[in-house]
Amino acid sequence: MTGTTLSTSVFDVEHARARFSSLRHNDFAFFDAPGGSQVPDEVGEAVAGVLRDSSANLGAFYAASERVADLVVAAREGAARFMGGDPENIIFGPNMTSLNFMLTRTAARNFSAGDEIVVTRLDHDANVAPWRELAHDLGLVVRVADVTSDLRIDMAHLTSLLNERTKVVAFPWASNAVGTVSDAEEICRLAHEVGAITWVDAVHYAAHRTMDARAIGADVLLCSPYKFCGPHLGMAHVEPAVADSWRPYKVQPRGLDPLGARFETGTASYELLGGLLATFSYLDSLGGLDVLGAYEDELARYLLDTLPAEVRVYGPALQYRVPTFLISIDGVEAESIARSLAAQNVGVWHHDHWYAVNLLERLPHKGDTVRIGLLHYNSVEDVDRLTQALADIIGRR
């Protein structure tokens, strides 16, 4: 299979790539989107536009302040459509990790020593460390659901951990390390059966699939726009049935409405909210994540079909994952692979745990690995460059 598009795709990747200065010249292939995607020019221009024209704060009667107020409303509405919820329940923060530390600390004001939190081996540590720190401070118990041999959540083991003391079930909708997609609706159902809050890390999933927090039963759902061609922000949707019982950490003048705003500290980064709106517009202009995800899946099949046989791929079959692949090559250190690829204008990362600290001991390869992350702006030519470079590395072993 050759050419700039895939035979069954309705998505014009070159049209998308032309909107990125970083991709326009086709001289570098980025496969590092799981660590942060490229950003289209229109998003950067939107950020600059807010700084130029709306450098103000809320509450005044002049035009710049009114534009900021309209921007915040539009950002909440856009985030709610993207996440599948209501605008008043949206919370913005500097990044997912900071937002999660704040929200977990807030929720835990209602917990007692001996209460239990269930996390999984697939979790990024941003959805584990906050609970471990609270366990240290409050005497909570953190239990870790195991994974199967193909690196999916072991649902039987997770179920066995649930009991009347379980207060939260925290899990990733998709693994940032190996791409595994969780059965989010089923996990939320099991958690609710024992009265637990569902706490969903959708950071990696949000870059590849359409979300609906309400449909899966997520009480708390978090993601980060910088994974799907947006600015560095964190955002969450929290159900009122859960959040209304929390006492927020806030300054006294901050109001309680809308619900999400009561959990936001300080002045918002209005310019980044402008960039976020431009990101949603960019994704919508390409047909949305259903179209982009279908293209990514086609490209992922092509990648798997053309990878050299000596490349070992970790994780489940393609139907159980987003297009993120952890790989190794026997006899070649991961750092050497990453450096060699960079020298051939292919961008990947190497790491040992990928912040999924609990997953490391379940990986057959205990040393560093290389992560290949596809996003909708990747082309067949990008993949061909990657696979040829990997073949060259194997040939030099």
CATH number at residue 342: 3.90.1150.10
Position 87 in a domain: yes
Q: Amino acid identity, residue 152?
A: R
Residue 52 has pLDDT above 60, yes or no: yes
Q: Which residues pair with 325 in a beta bridge?
A: 372
Q: Is residue 190 part of a domain?
A: yes
The mean-pLDDT minimum among 8-12, 61-65, 124-128, 253-257 falls in 8-12
**What confidence score (pLDDT) does residue 116 get?**
98
Instruction: Give this prediction's pTM.
Output: 0.96
When pLDDT is averaged across residues 20-29 and rounded to a whole number, the result is 90
Range of the domain at 328: 13-39+288-395
Shared-domain flag, residues 195 and 176: yes
Q: What is the pLDDT of residue 26?
A: 75
> Is residue 5 pLDDT above 80, yes or no?
no
> Which residue, of 228, 261, 283, is where some domain finishes?
283
Q: What percent of the chain has pLDDT over 70?
A: 98
The tens digit of pLDDT for each residue in 306-363 reads 999 999 999 999 999 999 999 999 999 999 999 999 999 999 999 888 999 999 889 8
When mean pLDDT is compared across 24-28, 89-93, 348-352, the lowest value belongs to 24-28
- The predicted pLDDT at position 254 comes to 85
In a domain, 168, yes or no: yes
Q: Report whether pLDDT(36) > 90.
A: yes
Residue 1 placed within a domain:
no
| pLDDT higher than threshold 90 for residue 41 | yes
Q: What is the mean pLDDT of the chain?
A: 95
Boundary (domain end) residue, out of 260, 283, 306:
283
How many other C-beta atoms are found inside a 10 Å radius of the C-beta of residue 213? 29
**What's the whole-number mean pLDDT along residues 170-176?**
98
Query: Do residues 279 and 292 share a domain?
Result: no
Sign of the torsion angle spanned by Cα atoms 261, 265, 271, 276: negative
Model pLDDT, residue 8: 53
* pLDDT above 60: residue 32: yes
Residue 213 included in any domain: yes
pLDDT in tens, 142-157: 999 999 999 999 999 9
Q: What is the pLDDT of residues 118-128, one digit of tens each?
A: 999 999 999 99
Same domain membership, residue 293 and residue 275: no
Q: Look at residue 303 and tell me if it is in a domain.
A: yes
> pLDDT higher for 188 or 6?
188
pLDDT at residue 363, as a whole number: 86
Residues 223, 187 within the same domain: yes
Whether residues 66 and 160 share a domain: the answer is yes
Same domain, 345 and 196: no
Q: Check which CATH number belongs to the domain holding 210 and give it.
A: 3.40.640.10
Residues 194 and 318 in one domain: no
Out of 283, 314, 347, pick the residue that ends a domain: 283
How high is the pLDDT of residue 336? 96
> Span 56-67, mean pLDDT?
94
| 358/316 same-domain check | yes
What's the confidence (pLDDT) of residue 1?
41
The total of structural domains in the chain comes to: 2
When pLDDT is cut at 50, 70 and 90, the band that residue 253 belongs to is: confident
- Are 224 and 340 members of one domain? no
Say if residue 94's pLDDT is above 90.
yes
Check pLDDT > 70 for residue 137.
Answer: yes
Q: Are residues 184 and 326 in the same domain?
A: no
In-domain check, residue 342: yes
- State yes or no: pLDDT of 9 exceeds 70: no
- Looking at residue 255, what is its pLDDT? 85
Q: Does residue 206 sit in the same domain as residue 297?
A: no
Closest by alpha carbon to 55, among 270, 231, 266? 270
pLDDT reported for residue 256? 87
- Same-domain check for residues 68 and 191: yes
Domain membership flag for residue 6: no
